[in-house]
Structure 1
Amino acid sequence: MVLPEMLGFQPYETFQLLIETGGVDRTNTLLIAACDAYARRGKPTHPEMEQFEALAGRLFPTAGPQARAKGAAILGRAELLSPALERLVVDNIGEDLIPFLEAATALSDQTMLDIIARYDVPACATLAGRADLSNVVLAKLFQMNSRKVYRALAGNEHIAPRGAYLSALARSAQMDHLVAEALGRRDDFDAALLAPAFFDLSDAHRVKVIHAFANRTTPVAPIARTIEQLSVATAELTKALMKLFSENRRPEVTRLLAQITGLDEVRCGQIAHDVTGASLFVILRAFGATAYDGLKVLIHATSHDSERSKALADYATLFGTVSSESMAYLMGAWRGEVNLLELAKPQYQPFTQPSRRTAAQLAPAHNPVVEQAIEAR
């Protein structure tokens, strides 16, 4: 059977007659041909779209399953679909739904809300990665109790992390390390809010969390009073840690850290065996260690030694820009004692925006503090 140049825009009665006088096979053929003709049409006029909607609405219910899926896949490639046509595609495309949702240049809110209402997690996760999400759709996605959806939301840089969205993402990061890692890769997310997930993060993102506390006032952490009582013995603490690390007595380091921080021994064991030094830096700075003393401990505790590792220069900078109070607050987050969302308040924003060049301002070999610490170790 040879169809006219644009099947969907011929008199509707013609196709009604073809449908009524043929069986399922003819309906299948008509459906696929009609969808192909519409997809090739480009951008149709409103009357043309209405005419095709009427035809498609008659053909899809009476065609066979394979023809419906094939027709929907073809129709999904059309330049412009009305909400009614989107619904036909979504309802009939079967296993090609995810590719359709990924490739569609536009989707109506109603179509997306219908998909969310079905609680189809893979489809909703695909929607969560789109750039054209309205606040109505976003609100529904954030209400879903799905890690897969939250991982997609966390990685979607078209979603500004503000207000309720910020709170939801920060809470999710505490429960899912993949959400935390996705947020750690973003420049528009306050990395300080990832403090509870610190030990689930990559090495680079742990340092990024610390950098987020630079030049920043924080609320007073409950542990601050304990640290204040011990800070008079900071020199003795750094000396003891340096000795234990130099003799590779990490189990004893673990017990010492548990005594002074109140963290459980499992967590303290992670700190004692953290060869990057990021978590140990937090402890050292919280207890008031200077760059000179702190770097001597880090050199013995980590793999950053005579190679003049760039990390040492980075830590030397952080000792100067990160306050003891802010690291005590970060420790408080590890202990579950603080509400990190307080950091979103204006009075707790960084004084200056962090510079990507900060860590590179002094090469390790030319940083005098690093040189002195290496010589004195």
Structure 2
Amino acid sequence: MLGFQPYETFQLLIDGGGVDRTNTLLIAACDAYVRRGKPTHPEMEQFEALALRLFPAAGPHARAKAAAILVRADLLSPALEGLIAEHIGDDLVRWINMAASLSEKTMLDLIARQDSDIAAALARRADPSNIVLAKLFQMNSRKVYRALAANGAVSLRGAYLSALARSAHMDHIVAESLAARADFDAALLAPAFFDVTDAARIKVIRAFAGRATPAAPIKRTIEQIAVANAELTRALMKLFSENRRPEVTRLLAQITGLDEVRCGQIAHDVTGAALFVVLRAFGCTAQDGLKVLIHATAHDQDRSKALADFVSLFESVPQDSMAYLMSAWRGEVNLLELVKPEYQPFTEESRRTPVAPARNPAIDQAIEALARIGARRAG
């Protein structure tokens, strides 16, 4: 077999040679199998029988060395994979990461160890079967869910989507990974809004553009104060211009029904993303909303582009959808309703529709006012 003596001779050598000879035979046989390239099925079966006989009889160091050699083989049966997994020691996770393929049986056996590092390595692979994925999703491990969230090979549908969306509400790393995926509806990250980066917050808001949303419980509160919209924007402009953010916090708590901690986060969010949600939910237009955002956002860098982005959001994001987002912050809605067809965003664009909307001179003036504000503060 494979350039060695017949299989029966190997059996005699094993039985009569002691541990040292067994160690030598094991390493030599594994090296020969790896050098063989892609063996035939009968050759693999014969080597498997030999390996199953040699590994238990060899010493610990030889078993580890043989397993390290065997990982380079072009073809491994589930039984041979099992021998590697059992004896490769500290290099197990590295092997899982680099192995070209792993059988479903091997993956399930590894998951059964209930080791989060091993399971996370499996969750990063591109070839887990549905049965393996189901087992991984059953594990209560942040490492596993972070790996699954970042794995583009995991299809975000059904129970998998629900599980990852729930995990994102409790783990900001999962939320960030999902926000970076083009196949994930960022609107489902609404409860994690304050835990993700500035770019991810804008992506969450954009995910509500051009889509209907279920009725938001907070809508009734908003309707009661909508008549005082102008007074609200004037009050916020004054408070932000004087940097009285604690008072902004109290005002927001009074009108939104959100808890004071959440309102404090909104008031101190110098990117303006959280404040935009409130302003749009209360029906502010771009012209009025920008007047508030100019005073509320940071001025340590050029914010013109960011404010220009908010202009497009005011125009494309419906008021009701931002009310829905605020209700999500209060935990009043089931975000998974958004996966229903009637709440999917309408993104189809007509070829006759201009790519860039017409600019409003008043909005342009509001953006330009940012530079003057920055100049006055710098002086």
The normalised TM-score by structure 1 is: 0.93
- 2:366 matched residue in structure 1: 373
CA distance 1:252–1:58, change in 2 (3 Å): same
- 2:200 matched residue in structure 1: 205
Q: Structure 1: how far apart are the matches of 2:289 and 2:158?
A: 37
Counterpart pick for 1:267 among 242, 262, 265 = 262
- 1:60 matched residue in structure 2: 55
Which segments of structure 1 move beyond 4 Å, counting only runs of 4 or more?
A: 360-363
Q: Structure 1: how far apart are the matches of 2:130 and 2:271?
A: 41
Q: Structure 1: how far apart are the matches of 2:25 and 2:368?
A: 83
Do 2:304 and 2:368's aligned partners in 1 also have CA atoms closer than 8 Å? no
1:155-207, CA deviations, whole angstroms, 9 ceiling, x for partnerless residues?
A: 00011101111101100001111100110110000000000000000000000
- Secondary structure, in 3 states, of the residue corresponding to 1:221? coil
- Secondary structure, in 3 states, of the residue corresponding to 2:169? helix
1:260-296, CA deviations, whole angstroms, 9 ceiling, x for partnerless residues?
A: 1111111111111111100000000001011001011
Q: How many residues align?
A: 365
Counterpart pick for 1:32 among 20, 27, 36 = 27
- 2:376 matched residue in structure 1: none
Does 2:21 correspond to 1:16? no
| Partner amino acid, structure 2, of 1:111 | T
Identity of aligned residues (%): 75
| Partner amino acid, structure 1, of 2:191 | P
Does 2:60 correspond to 1:69? no
- Secondary structure, in 3 states, of the residue corresponding to 1:23? helix
- Secondary structure, in 3 states, of the residue corresponding to 2:127? coil
| Partner amino acid, structure 1, of 2:70 | L
Does 2:173 correspond to 1:178? yes
1:98-130, CA deviations, whole angstroms, 9 ceiling, x for partnerless residues?
A: 111011111111110111111111011000011
Q: Structure 1: how far apart are the matches of 2:46 and 2:278?
A: 70
Aligned-pair distance for 1:313?
Answer: 1.0
**Which structure 1 segments of 5+ residues have no match?**
355-359
Q: Structure 2: how far apart are the matches of 1:125 and 1:353?
A: 38
Q: Structure 2: how far apart are the matches of 1:215 and 1:367?
A: 20
Q: Structure 1: how far apart are the matches of 2:33 and 2:104?
A: 23
Q: Structure 2: how far apart are the matches of 1:105 and 1:67?
A: 24
**Which structure 2 segments of 5+ residues have no match?**
350-354, 371-379
**Superposition RMSD in Å:** 1.9
Q: Structure 2: how far apart are the matches of 1:375 and 1:67?
A: 73
| Partner amino acid, structure 1, of 2:296 | A
Q: Structure 2: how far apart are the matches of 1:368 and 1:241?
A: 23
Structure 1 residues 1-377: aligned runs within 5 Å: 6-7=3-4, 10-303=5-298, 307=302, 309-352=304-347, 361=356, 368-374=361-367
Aligned-pair distance for 1:30?
Answer: 1.1
- 1:357 matched residue in structure 2: none
- Secondary structure, in 3 states, of the residue corresponding to 1:119? coil
Do 1:288 and 1:324's aligned partners in 2 also have CA atoms closer than 8 Å? yes
| Partner amino acid, structure 1, of 2:20 | D
CA distance 1:252–1:332, change in 2 (3 Å): same
Aligned-pair distance for 1:44?
Answer: 0.7
Aligned-pair distance for 1:303?
Answer: 2.1
- Secondary structure, in 3 states, of the residue corresponding to 1:96? helix
Deviating more after overlay: 283-292 vs 33-42:
33-42
Aligned-pair distance for 1:69?
Answer: 1.0
The normalised TM-score by structure 2 is: 0.93
